[in-house]
Amino acid sequence: MSYVVINAFRDKEDNDLLYQIGEKYPKSDYKPPKKRLNELSKEHQTHKCVFIQEEKEKEE
């Protein structure tokens, strides 16, 4: 499953790597656990925004 960044953030679980809007997540060899994907794809309690969403596959 592929994800795309919809709000910029620094991933504290991936060496504090900066992710910008439109980039794929993850962009390194880091394999985020399902719990981390859930945290980033739901509204964050403090920041009140969602950081990633599933990337929709393009139809050809």
Task: Give the tens place of pLDDT for each residue, 24-50.
Answer: 999 878 899 999 999 999 999 899 999
Q: Is residue 12 part of a domain?
A: yes
What is the pLDDT, as a whole number, of residue 27? Answer: 85
Residue 15 clears pLDDT 70, i.e. is over it: yes
* Tally of structural domains, the chain: 1
Q: Is residue 59 part of a domain?
A: no
What is the pLDDT, as a whole number, of residue 34? Answer: 95
For residue 14, give every residue at least 6 positions away whose Cβ sits within 8 Å of its Cβ, in sequence order, or none. Answer: 26, 28, 30, 32
For residue 26, give its domain range: 3-53
Chain mean pLDDT for the chain? 92
Mean pLDDT of 10-36: 93
Q: Is residue 60 part of a domain?
A: no
What is the pLDDT, as a whole number, of residue 28? Answer: 76
Mean pLDDT of 3-32: 94
